[in-house]
Amino acid sequence: MSREQIRISTATVTIRKRSRSDKFEQAVKLIPPPVAYYFKVIPLFEIEGVLTIAMADPVDILSLDTIVDITNTEVEVVISS
């Protein structure tokens, strides 16, 4: 997906403390908590170099570009509420 294209998808995700997977732990390591708080994102999982994050405003291109630069990964966004 290029930076000019935005794909918005929806997903239902339940995160339980006991069920954290390696994919979730890797996603959390890619976005430090202060960065996640600042941009209001939740790292969900990272699979094969694609980081999936939940965002309240998935069309905030400046935030997305910054997250891509920080993580050096392809980023897929789902809407959070």
Average pLDDT, the chain: 80
Residue ranges per structural domain of the chain: 20-79
> Which of 75, 52, 79 minimizes the C-alpha distance to 65?
75
Question: Once rounded to an integer, what is the mean pLDDT over residues 2-20?
Answer: 58
Tell me the DSSP string of the chain: --TT----B-------GGG--HHHHHHHHHS-HHHHHHHTEEEEEEETTEEEEEES-TT-HHHHHHHHHHHTSEEEEEE--
- What's the pLDDT at 10? 61
59-72 residue pLDDT tens: 899 999 999 999 99
Choice between 28 and 39, residue whose per-residue pLDDT is larger: 39
| pTM, rounded to two decimals | 0.72
- What's the pLDDT at 38? 92
20-79 under CATH 3.30.300.160, yes or no: yes
Tokens 């891509």 belong to 68
